[in-house]
Each structure stands twice: as C-alpha cells, then as structure tokens.
C-alpha cells in the first residue's frame, strides 16, 4: 500500500491543512494518508486548542486523513530537530514511503540540498553560532543566523522551512514531498479563506467567530471549550509559587538563570503579563512556553528520551476504513498500543494536567481507545 505521512498538530485543522492533505494524496499517489500528530501540548509550547482525541477525530471526519498516530509529548514538546527526528521515525516505522509537508519554499530539492550541505558541522558555522550566542541571541536565533550567513540559498528563519529542513535531516528511508504553504503564514492573524491556526484561534477568542475551517473543526468549537494559556495560569501560579527553585532547575528547558525569573513571574496577575516579563533576546516566547509546559506537567530532565529517533511504540488515536487496513498490515511488526499500557503513564500525567483546568472528566487517558470513524 502506498502510504504518505504528514507531521502535524492540527491546532486546529483548518482549510490550509485540508488543501495540503488533499494535494499530498493526489501528488504522491497515496492510498493512505497518515498524520503523526502532537498530543495535548504543541511543539511551540502551548496547550492544544482541543484535546488530541477530538483533533484526531476531526481530521478523519474531513476525509483527508485516514489514520492519526500520536507523537508522544516527551518527543513533541521539543526543539525542531528533536521533534522532527521522532515524528519522521514514526512515519518510517509504519512504512510510509513519502513524507509530505507544507513549506514556504515549496521546493523539496532545495530543502534536501540545504540539509545535505551539513553546514552545522563546519568550523565556520560553530564560530558564527558562538558569536551570535555571545551577543545575546537565543540558541534558535543564533543557529538560523549562522546558517543563513553560510548558506544564503535557503531561508532557515521561516517556521515551516525550519521544520522541513529538519525533516530532511532526519529522513532515512522516506522520500520528501512538499506543498507550498497556501495563504497566511504561521504567525499571521489576518482574515482570509485560508488562515493560520494562530489566526483561527485569535479570531475566535476576539470575535467569537470561527473562520477558514472545515465543518468537522467548526463542530469542535461548538461542542468543546477551547484551551489556551490563560486557562492554565492559576495552576501555573500555584506551581511557580510553591515549587522550590532546586526542583525547578531539574525540569526540561529550565536552568538556574531562568528558574528565579519564573518564580518572580508567578506573582503576575495574568499569563500575558508574566510572559512579557520573562521574554528576552535569550529566552524567546517559544522557549518560555516550553519551560512552562515542563512546570505544568513536571517534566524532569531524567525523563527525556535517550534517543529522539526511536519512539518505542505506535499509538493510533483515530482511523477510518483505510486506516484500519494500515493498522492490520503493520501490527505484525510494530508495537501498537490500542489500550492503556504502563508505557502511557507519562501521557496520563500530561492529560491530567491538560484536562483538569478544563473540568473535562471525559478525557481521562485510562478510558480512551482509538476511534473508528466512517469518513467515506
């Protein structure tokens, strides 16, 4: 069976995602389109707008996706290279021949050439990177600036290009296919028929109106409460005010220079006020948000995976008839988790942290099983 993977967050699934998935199916000749999707928190360190099961179900209901597999939180709330390594490894493990993704460049050859140039291994890159760090830039900014200075043919400052580059670096057996990003960029909050996920969420929070999404996603906004950081601020305030600094220092993304600033920020009345206090050239919004996810779920450095290209299991969240055939085909060689298992203990903790401020008893990890949706 010809299988194409898409690495996604669907936060939420919008018209741009629909276009990309349909184009990927057509251009790669896919009999099955499989989404490897982040769970309750996103790569950039935000609570997902809706829980992972609801987002997976909506993706299947659009008819564009046949199977949604979870990217576990320990791998998903990470910098781009680690995120990409884990997601690509899952896609290859379930036998996908092609990985399709959106990018600003729309040119898979250029992306592969940039990845194969191996710029980061050169002394010139290491020197430029260190100089940028010493000037006060964040590691991510220092890396992109150093890369661009040495390889100007590819813009590594654009969000989707960054992920595309790391997908190409991580790929071993899978072929790359890209669709030029349609409409708004990731951070664009303007109104259009195709909006970014950020724009969809922002417009809903400001106006109470849902735009630029399929019917399945529109239903989510009617049926469920949209999660956002403000919902979690009271819990975070409690944790930041009561967790000893040495304990904070042991959490992923936090060090002895950030922890006292986090404790101080916990005195702020709102999440946005706290974030404004914490952001610096060194600590970007994304870095701070990931650190706050670590606080919320108590993600200790000792719990980091030994390798990010070796996820120990595959967990389906939702599937249709085609997806069922894929699962039947791969279960002989891939460890599938369809029911609660001790390997999911970390995810259970994450889900409790996610669902409790929402007051949603239905989201308990222990009672969830993969959802079959007849989307045809």
Q: Kindly report, residue by residue over 187-234, the tens digit of the pLDDT.
A: 444 445 789 999 999 999 999 999 999 999 999 999 999 999 999 999
Select from 36, 48, 45, 17 the least CA-distant residue to 87: 36
Percent of the chain with pLDDT over 90: 82
Please say if the pLDDT value at position 182 is more than 70.
Answer: no
Strands 67-71 and 316-319, by their bridges, are antiparallel
The per-residue pLDDT for range 314-338, each reduced to its tens digit, is 999 999 999 999 999 999 899 999 9
Q: What pTM was computed for the model?
A: 0.94
What are the structure tokens assigned to 271, written together?
Answer: 């999440």
- Please give the distance of CA 374 from its chain centroid, rounded to a whole number: 26
Q: 10 Å Cβ neighbour count for 246? A: 9
Counting beta carbons within 10 angstroms of the beta carbon of residue 223, is it exposed (0 to 12), middle (13 to 18) or buried (19 or more)? exposed
**What angle separates helix 80-93 from helix 159-170, to the nearest 10 degrees?**
50
* C-alpha span between 365 and 69 (Å, rounded): 15
Question: What separation in angstroms does the CA of 178 have from each of 48, 56, 106, 302?
Answer: 25, 22, 6, 36
């Amino acid at each position: 069976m010809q299988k194409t993977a898409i690495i996604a967050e669907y936060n939420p699934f919008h018209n741009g995602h629909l276009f990309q998935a349909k184009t990927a199916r057509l251009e790669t000749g896919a009999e099955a389109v499989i989404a490897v999707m982040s769970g309750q928190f996103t790569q950039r360190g935000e609570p997902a707008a809706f829980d992972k099961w609801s987002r997976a179900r909506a993706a299947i209901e659009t008819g564009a996706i046949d199977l949604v597999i979870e990217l576990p939180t320990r791998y998903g709330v990470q910098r781009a290279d680690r995120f990409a390594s884990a997601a690509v490894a899952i896609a290859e493990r379930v036998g996908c021949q092609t990985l399709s993704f959106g990018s600003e460049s729309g040119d898979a050859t250029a992306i592969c050439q940039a990845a194969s140039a191996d710029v980061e291994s050169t002394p010139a890159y290491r020197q430029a990177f260190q100089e940028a760090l010493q000037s006060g830039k964040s590691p991510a900014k220092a890396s992109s600036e150093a890369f661009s200075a040495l390889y100007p043919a590819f813009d590594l400052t654009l969000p989707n290009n960054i992920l595309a580059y790391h997908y190409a670096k991580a790929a071993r057996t899978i072929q790359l296919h890209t669709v030029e990003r349609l409409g708004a960029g990731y951070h664009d909050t303007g109104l259009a028929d195709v909006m970014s996920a950020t724009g969809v969420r922002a417009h809903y929070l400001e106006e109470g109106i849902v735009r630029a999404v399929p019917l399945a996603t529109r239903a989510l906004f009617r049926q469920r409460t949209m999660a956002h950081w403000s919902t979690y601020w009271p819990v975070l305030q409690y944790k930041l005010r009561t967790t000893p600094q040495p304990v904070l220092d042991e959490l992923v993304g936090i060090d002895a220079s950030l922890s006292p600033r986090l404790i101080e920020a916990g005195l702020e009345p709102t999440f946005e006020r706290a974030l404004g206090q914490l952001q610096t050239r060194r600590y970007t919004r994304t870095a701070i948000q990931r650190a706050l996810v670590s606080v919320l779920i108590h993600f200790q450095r000792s719990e980091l995976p030994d390798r990010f290209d070796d996820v120990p299991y595959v967990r389906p969240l939702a599937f249709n008839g085609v997806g069922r055939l894929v699962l039947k085909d791969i279960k002989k060689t891939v460890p599938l988790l369809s029911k609660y298992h001790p390997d999911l203990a970390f995810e259970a903790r994450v889900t409790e942290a996610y669902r409790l401020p929402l007051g949603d008893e239905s989201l308990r990890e222990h009672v969830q099983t993969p959802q079959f949706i007849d989307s045809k």
